[in-house]
Chains A and B, each alone.
Chain A
Amino acid sequence: MYRYDEFDSQIVKERVQEFRRQINMRLDGQLSENEFKPLRLMNGLYLQLHAYMLRVAIPYGTLSSKQLHTLAFIADTYDKGYGHFTTRQNIQFNWPKLTEVADILDTLADVEMHALQTSGNCIRNVTTDHWAGIVKDEIEDPRPVAELIRQWSTLHPEFSYLPRKFKIALTGAHERDFDRAAINVHDIGLRARLHPQSQEIGYEVIVGGGLGRTPMIGFSLKKWIAKEQLLSYLSAVMKVYNLLGRRDNKYKARIKILVFETGPEKFQQMVEDAYAQSEHISIDVPQEEQKRIADYFAPPNTPKISPHDIQQYEQHILSQRKLHKNFDLWCRHNLAQHKIPGYTIANISLKPTGGIPGDMSSEQMRAVADLAEQYSFSEIRVSHYQNLVLPYVPLQHLFNVWQQLHERDLAAPHHNTISDIIACPGLDYCSLATARSIPVAQEISKRFADTEKQNLIGPLSLNISGCINACGHHHVGHIGILGLDKRGKEVYQLLLGGNPDQNAQIGSVIGPGFSYEDIPAAVETVVNTYIQIRKNQDETFLETYERVGKEPFKEVLYGNAP
């Protein structure tokens, strides 16, 4: 499994020591708040509505049992017994004391974790498909390339003061398959691709996507580049960005605005020119180095399971499914096909009916860490859907794993359904929020708690943000909700038709907003309308929406009033 190399753990340890000194200088008055604030942000420490918040990175969404135990320990020792998983493969602690933050970071560093690059105008922690390296039928595990990018970008002087924060996401899935990393809505998205002639694995470079105030879908800057040249090419992109990027207006400083204002073709030409010129200082990565890094991500030594045994285990699972309805539903929704026969990918839900999306108690963390240790080679994945994954569950243990998850309220069988809601912390925690998002998610999940109804609806995503920063990805939910403030009252805009995957699309606002009390019913109305007007049960919400457009939904939501 992935580990830092020694060089990196040294850097992380030194950074903690340095930050400890800075905290002490702040506490005894040698540093003013103005001097200290950028330093704490560089170390992932924000000031939120009620207290500080510490954002800890989970590189590539890959965690070990030991690391998850450590997170549980931190939650109990320094926080209030829980953590919040975000949409960027981070975990946030909501109540740390400044006086204890250095101890928390030291504890994290002991298990090779940190809070670097989780804030500020740097290249943020690189995110990937949470099924990377385990899902059947991917072109390759993109994490070694992600790691290469991290090593290149971490603490790189040229990238520590960018015009704005910069987010990179990768997927190794085929273009025809589902993009679980939302690469089209990142500053840079990378997708593994086979060269049309040679079949060599390279990457497509998509640039200029993003959500927030000005949502945009990225555009394909380069259809294919060899892995060896990828960093050189990305350097050229960063060079053009750093050169042209606006520093006068933070809302216009994202690369998406630059691409838009320059024009995609011209931007492309500039990158190509920069790339051609930089050849003498290029940072091509030789194959040996690629291999060295890829070895960090080597899969665990999974014992081979014979076809005969697999058949037996499958039979056993089938009979258990007949006996336990919830287990049956969970198998139907929450499992994914593993690339290794006899194993499965089991998705853990952090969205129990009426629960807080992404929140996890320390007790649940310990339970999952133990389960992973016993049944998933000590590995856990974190998804940007605010859920977790057990990546290597042998089929013979599946029922047992489900039972244990079920006991801890971690087995809601609604992966990819309307109850699997993404929601940012909103006004309950966030100082930038204009409205609450969590209780809206809770109420809607209660209304759609009936699993029969979830099945009837089929795959449908609902994403909620508490302000235009769009941390809850509301623009790319099939149904999106944006909480705003209108003269002191929470008002919720409803968006339809968003899509985060390979056919990415920004949802559009359907009409005037709804009150806090009315928004759950408005969502129900949309869903019921979809069920009534879809051609058949196989037509998905997005297909129906594409076919009929906004009007039928508008009509039921607002009547025929102009």
Chain B
Amino acid sequence: MNTPQDNSYAISANRLHDGIVVYLAQNHQWSTEPSHALSIPSHEHALNILKNTPIPHDIIEPYIININSQNHTPSLFREQLRTLGPSVRKDLGRQAEKIKYGE
């Protein structure tokens, strides 16, 4: 569970061409790595970024999620699954790549 101090926000979306989950990172970049996600201190701030950041054409359905500012783990279980892949198929999704590269 996040302590209130750890609570922060990030912006997640999907990639148009393959549907893969991405996060808004530094310098308007979008990354598949949640650890690269830009940690945003307040919801209001996140809303502002969402409104004012030009969303590239390859990015769809962006929305705000809660993360832990220390380790960038999403707070909601749904979002945790979204970063990893199906809990019933550890061989699929980003979790599988992690295993492959021995992280």
Contact = CB atoms under 8 A, between A and B. Distances in A.
Q: Do A and B belong to a common assembly?
A: yes
B18 interface: yes
Interface string B82-95: 10011111001100
A436 B87 contact: yes
A80 B81 contact: no
Interface string A294-316: 00000000000000000000000
Contact of B85 (A50, A52, A356, A427): A50
A27 B76 CA distance: 31
Contacts of B78: 49, 427, 433
Given A99-B18, A488-B75, A438 B81 contact: no
A51 B88 contact: no
A250 to B, nearest CB: 19
Interface in A17-49: 26-27, 29, 33, 47-49
A51 B18 contact: yes
Interface string B54-81: 0001001100000000000001111001
A376 interface: no
B77 A488 contact: yes
A97 interface: yes
Contacts of B75: 488
Interface string A90-101: 000001111100
Contacts of A356: 88-89
A409 interface: no
Nearest to B20: A51
B76 A98 contact: no
A49 B81 contact: yes
Nearest to B18: A97
Contact of A99 (B17, B76, B82, B89): B17
A33 B61 contact: yes
B83 to A, nearest CB: 10
Contact of A439 (B61, B76, B88): B88
B16 A429 contact: no
Interface in A71-97: 80, 95-97
A29 B93 CA distance: 27
B37 interface: no
A50 B57 contact: no
Contacts of A429: 86
Interface in B41-61: 57, 60-61
Contacts of A112: none
A347 interface: no
Nearest to B82: A49
B31 interface: no
A175 interface: no
B93 A50 contact: yes
A438 B86 CA distance: 10
Contact of A27 (B16, B19, B61, B93): B16
A47 B18 contact: no
Contact of B88 (A80, A98, A428): A428
Contacts of A49: 78, 81-82
A33 B85 CA distance: 24
A488 to B, nearest CB: 6
Contacts of A27: 16-17
Given A29-B57, A49-B81, A428-B81, A97 B19 contact: yes
A328 interface: no
A101 to B, nearest CB: 10
Contacts of A97: 17-19
A228 interface: no
B14 A47 contact: yes
Nearest to B87: A428
30 contacts: A27-B16, A33-B16, A33-B60, A33-B61, A47-B14, A47-B19, A47-B60, A47-B61, A49-B78, A50-B19, A50-B20, A50-B21, A50-B86, A50-B93, A51-B14, A51-B21, A80-B92, A96-B19, A97-B17, A97-B18, A98-B16, A98-B19, A427-B77, A427-B78, A428-B86, A436-B88, A438-B86, A438-B88, A439-B88, A488-B77
